[in-house]
Structure 1
Amino acid sequence: MANLSLETERRLSDFIFSICEGEKEVEQARINLSENRDFDPYSAFREIDRLGLGSISYLNIRDFLDKNRVSCTNQEIISMIKQYDSDSDTKLVLSEFHQLVLPSTSIVLRDLALQRGPYPRVTLDVEFLLARLLEKELSLQRRLELSRRDLALRPDFSVVSGFSQIDYPSTSFLTRDKLNDFLRRNGKIAFIEDLDALLRRVDVDGDERLSFSEFSDFLRTSEPVFSSPRKSPERSSPQRSSSPLRRTGSPNRTSSSFVANESSIRSSYIRSSPLTVSEESEVASVFLQQINLERDLNSAKKDVALCSDFNLLDVFQMFDINDAGYVGEFDLEDTLIFLGIRPSREEVNLLYKHYSVLNNRRLTYSEFSKLFTPKELEYSRILSNRTAYNVSRVERRRVFCSDTTYKLTRVLRLHLDSENVAESLRHRLARRPSFSMHEAFQAIDQDRNGYITFGEFQSLLDQHGIFATAKDVESLMDRYDKDKDGRVSYSEFLDEVTPKSPSKY
């Protein structure tokens, strides 16, 4: 077997399991959309294809998402198109759009949706559900790309070693049994529907197993926004009829038409930065990934906050099982294991360093509540108005229904993943030769007053062609502005970008 470290093997299993979970969430969004009687796929296609060209381009999707206030990056839309674009023309025709929006697990519901319409217009309910489906798909693309980059930074990881680690005994194919054994070895329980979801997303030829080329293609990271596009040989995917699980799509085709546009944006301003072009792009890339992490985390917090039985006191007592008035590291680990999450010691340490104000390896109720409270005030009000069930100590870990427990477990898993990736980004900056944190601070502090403001974060992102909403920039400020005075000092900036774990990421 290949020589991967235990930590790298665990991260590879996290990546594979996140495919299973993400595809299931996207499939549920497809089902929700198709169950609406006013939905027919052709009318939805026309709603996005406003010019009636018979295909949906990157700009069409961008316009639809902006209209429905869905935040995402250009690269995420490109990745989504590539996932379903079977002929590599960087557009989605109607048959490819069907693979994006229609369910795979219910042929009856799929056929029912195809028999409807066409209707003269798309209702607001259908438009909302379609926007939520695209948001779920983009969120999955974002998480997978971050995990790919995290794996690529591991010194002992390669695609060959990763494939060999799962392909045991070696047959040059990853079957359901091998994938299931690999996940179980790393503490993850995969059911039939999980493996179905994995194959729907990755199995291009529909043969119910993964070849090395399919595995390699799906693990390959996307092109950096400002790099020269890599030429990729065209390949066509088999149609969906080849497998009841397979979604038509090719996950790894490269588009150069949008990269040039981003490059022109970048060259349109006069540089006065102490950093090189490459170094400043790296800093902007780090900010973008931190924004993406916070988007996914906040979305998961909102999902669990809307569960009617969820409240902050009961979830706190779920972890503070001994009524100590705080959650210690061992309490956290013990409950996480009960929920099916086996965190490493480094992940727990990073989580406490982020949320424990006194850095005393304890989380008070107010500190712990931040793990589950969305940024939007309306959600905070909903949670503050809920009363606890105050169940007995024996029943604390089973106080919520299964759906709520699944959603709060997902929030915790995203917290650990977020801290992992954030630390990986810190190490990535620290490893750059001759990179200076002070010069990075000066590059953002454009007026040289010793502080980074909201506007200066926004300006740097704009200069690099990164679309970020006001909430996105606020999430950056929240991460860096430790004393919450509305600006980021050099010491606060240094504290966030300096690696916190001695382990090599």
Structure 2
Amino acid sequence: MYKRETRNRLCELLILLGQEEKYLEDYRQVLCQEQDFEPFSAFKRIDRKRQGFILASDIQDFLSSNGAFYELRDCQTYIYQYDIDLDNKLSYMEFLKSLLPFDNPELRQEVTQRPSYEIEPDDLLPYDVENALLKFIEKDIYINKKIENHKILLHKCSGFSAKDAFSRIDRSNEGDINFTNLSEYMTDCGCDLENQEDLIINILRRLDRDDDGRLNLAEFILGIQPLQINLERLNRRTNDQSILEKQLNQSTASALNRSIINKSILNKSTNIQQASINAINNSQFYAGKDASQLDLTYSRTINNLMNSHTLNKNLILEKLQNKHNQTNTSFRNFIQENKKVDFNVRKNRSFSNIDKEELTTPTLVLKQDKFFQKKGITKYMNSEIFKQLKELILIFREIINFEKEIELCKQNLALCPDFNLQDAYRVFDSQNKGLVTQSEFQETLSSLNIFYNIEDIFLFYRKFDKDHDGRLRFSDFIDAFLPKQKEYAKMINCRQPINKQNLLEYHKVFQKETRLNFEKLLDTHLQYGFTVERMLQNLHGAYENFELLRLFELIDSDDDGYILFNDLRKSIELQGFSVSEKELGYLSDRFCNLQEGRIPFQVFIQELTPQLQF
């Protein structure tokens, strides 16, 4: 029996999928707006072994090289999301699909026409590109982990069946879920949202693997089933294929018999393969809001492609590679003729943007040796403590990046003429109590289709709840939403509340653009706390004899019990990085008790110690 609880769980999952896909699209566009971003160069940056595909271990290596440490299973969720043929790896075309924006056709076209540039196995991308790509992949992994809990809750509902859910959405027995029947289902469930058209598009986009604008049963099941189940099946399938290939290689059949077998298999799969090639050559992506117009020539199910013989998949890959090589040749000719840009030189060198060669220059090594000698550290201890300090500096970089992003979100919100702090606070304090508990904050976020667990809320409160009583007051709320830059802060402070009696609903107080910016800032705040907490847990757990006291003593150059701005800069530069005054200012925002431009030992320990059990 299809219970109300089951229906609500399914609707909640679908809404979350659409909401998170929308946020991910913002990250795609930020990445693609970087003028130095070129997809094939980014592909080669991750595929350092030059295998022609990307594995979960490659994603893990890319993240860890940028100070983001994830388990292999987490990285596998990113691979799985875009792995069309379910072979446990990403081809270039699958990787390209994950990165290109859907809602901006002009930007999409521009990115695909950019000339590629050479990336050696040990090279980094330009700093802004490397960081934007890192943020995108981290966001995608975070979304998968966030959605996983809702998938598990849905499948625990009594009597739930994915096939039954599919048939309830496809009530006309069309054989697929499309824009029309999904809209009708969401409306019948009471999800009559103002931006429902965008939401439906984002849901279909997140779950649609073959880009035909609709979901067949296989795509729907793969999309709402817990990833743990899908990954286990995929790993078993990959292992079975490896065993089969090994057995085939060891076969004593004659070359003639093998030729006959291969020819037979080839004939059976020619139509499927040709359809796949045509679909790739003529691929269209979501450009409008009418999903019914997005009719591609892909197969209606991924099973046909999955069952194709492995040998014949090379036909598709070969055609893709030839097409890409032709495009790259024309781009290289264009560069030689015009000689306007040298993509091998990084134009913007800022914090954490450094070549490996510079990390080992004699001057830098000499500075490091003098620094450690001054601190009384022997050569034996040098390597261990140096690794710990370097990882701490990478955490500092992540803090700076998030603080930058949060400030930008605050400024964008300040530019919305109807936004004011009083009405924003009343969204959470609906009863005008003057305080908001953590459970009330979480409940309000859920009503805005922003889903976080209570641990994430705790980390947010820990940062802004000044008296640490578990309640968020208006003065605490101001710190979370008022921009640091005075001009923007003044714009907000001059505005008067509209909803003085707290009688108007949220969507009537703020316009759509304002609500989107408001929700994005909330999401960024909470992701900030989650990400830094995870990095701190990894740092503390990676070393048996890890001590923050030792790192504090290293950074405190004059041993006065305080870390000054100059101490921070010196420690960062000793790692081969550079940092500006403004970036140091962002870093200081993390240490909320910072006074007189210095960080006391107690605050240093408090801010860099994990707050959750690990």
TM over 0.5: yes
Q: Structure 2 counterpart of 1:414, which letter?
A: T
Q: Structure 2 counterpart of 1:371, which letter?
A: A
Matched, 1:301 2:410: yes
CA distance in 2, matches of 1:339, 1:243: 34
Cα 1:113/1:332, change in 2 over 3 Å: closer
Cα deviation code 1:210-246 (max 9, x no counterpart): 999xx99xxxxxxxxxxxxxxxxxxxxx997452139
SS of residue paired to 1:388: coil
SS of residue paired to 1:386: coil
Matched with 1:244 is: 284
CA distance in 2, matches of 1:347, 1:287: 20
How far is the alpha carbon of 1:481 from its aligned partner? 4.9
Aligned pairs for 1:259-270 (under 5 A) are 259-264=355-360, 267=365, 269-270=367-368
Contact persistence 2:17–2:203 (CA under 8 A): no
Contact persistence 1:317–1:323 (CA under 8 A): yes
Q: Structure 1 counterpart of 2:459, which letter?
A: L
User: Which residue of 471, 479, 485 corresponds with 1:370?
Assistant: 479
CA distance in 1, matches of 2:15, 2:394: 23
SS of residue paired to 2:25: helix
Contact persistence 1:23–1:197 (CA under 8 A): no
User: Which residue of 542, 554, 559 corresponds with 1:448?
Assistant: 559
Cα 1:478/1:105, change in 2 over 3 Å: closer
How far is the alpha carbon of 1:203 from its aligned partner? 8.4
Q: Structure 2 counterpart of 1:191, which letter?
A: L
CA distance in 2, matches of 1:388, 1:141: 39
CA distance in 2, matches of 1:276, 1:111: 45
Matched, 1:492 2:590: no
How far is the alpha carbon of 1:365 from its aligned partner? 1.3
Contact persistence 2:14–2:203 (CA under 8 A): no
Aligned pairs for 1:250-399 (under 5 A) are 259-264=355-360, 267=365, 269-271=367-369, 272=372, 276-398=385-507, 399=509
Matched with 2:532 is: 422
Q: Structure 2 counterpart of 1:457, which letter?
A: L
How far is the alpha carbon of 1:20 from its aligned partner? 2.3
Cα 1:268/1:410, change in 2 over 3 Å: farther
Contact persistence 2:15–2:199 (CA under 8 A): no
Cα deviation code 1:285-323 (max 9, x no counterpart): 111122222222222222212111111111012211111
- Give the CA RMSD over aligned residues: 5.6
Count of aligned residue pairs for this structure pair? 380
CA distance in 1, matches of 2:536, 2:607: 8
- Higher RCO (CA < 8 A, seq sep 6+): 1
Contact persistence 2:556–2:562 (CA under 8 A): yes
Cα deviation code 1:167-188 (max 9, x no counterpart): x989xxxxx98xx9xxx9xx9x
Cα deviation code 1:407-442 (max 9, x no counterpart): 111111111111112222232232121001100111
User: Which residue of 508, 520, 523 corresponds with 1:413?
Assistant: 523
SS of residue paired to 1:488: strand
How far is the alpha carbon of 1:395 from its aligned partner? 1.2
Cα 1:417/1:278, change in 2 over 3 Å: same
Identity %: 21
Matched with 1:117 is: none
Matched with 1:480 is: 591
How far is the alpha carbon of 1:143 from its aligned partner? 5.3
CA distance in 2, matches of 1:305, 1:268: 48
Q: Structure 1 counterpart of 2:479, which letter?
A: K
Q: Structure 1 counterpart of 2:201, which letter?
A: E
Cα 1:456/1:19, change in 2 over 3 Å: farther
Cα 1:467/1:192, change in 2 over 3 Å: farther
Matched, 1:463 2:561: no
SS of residue paired to 1:468: coil
How far is the alpha carbon of 1:330 from its aligned partner? 3.3
Matched with 1:144 is: 137
In our comparison, the structure showing a higher alpha carbon Rg is 2
Please, which runs of 5 or more residues in structure 1 have no aligned partner?
1-11, 34-43, 50-54, 58-73, 77-97, 115-133, 171-175, 217-237
Matched, 1:25 2:26: yes
What TM-score, normalized by structure 2, do the two folds share? 0.49
Deviates more, 1:190-199 or 1:440-449: 190-199
Contact persistence 2:427–2:444 (CA under 8 A): yes
CA distance in 1, matches of 2:547, 2:588: 21
Matched with 2:510 is: 400
SS of residue paired to 1:332: helix
SS of residue paired to 2:603: helix
Cα 1:193/1:151, change in 2 over 3 Å: closer
Cα 1:23/1:420, change in 2 over 3 Å: closer
CA distance in 2, matches of 1:141, 1:350: 23
How far is the alpha carbon of 1:15 from its aligned partner? 11
Contact persistence 2:103–2:286 (CA under 8 A): no
CA distance in 2, matches of 1:294, 1:263: 26
CA distance in 2, matches of 1:264, 1:111: 39
Considering fraction of residues, name the structure with more helix: 2
Contact persistence 2:564–2:599 (CA under 8 A): yes
Contact persistence 1:327–1:363 (CA under 8 A): yes
Cα 1:414/1:481, change in 2 over 3 Å: closer
Cα deviation code 1:336-377 (max 9, x no counterpart): 121112321212222212111110112221210111112211
How far is the alpha carbon of 1:487 from its aligned partner? 0.5
CA distance in 2, matches of 1:27, 1:151: 16
Contact persistence 2:20–2:143 (CA under 8 A): no
SS of residue paired to 2:582: helix
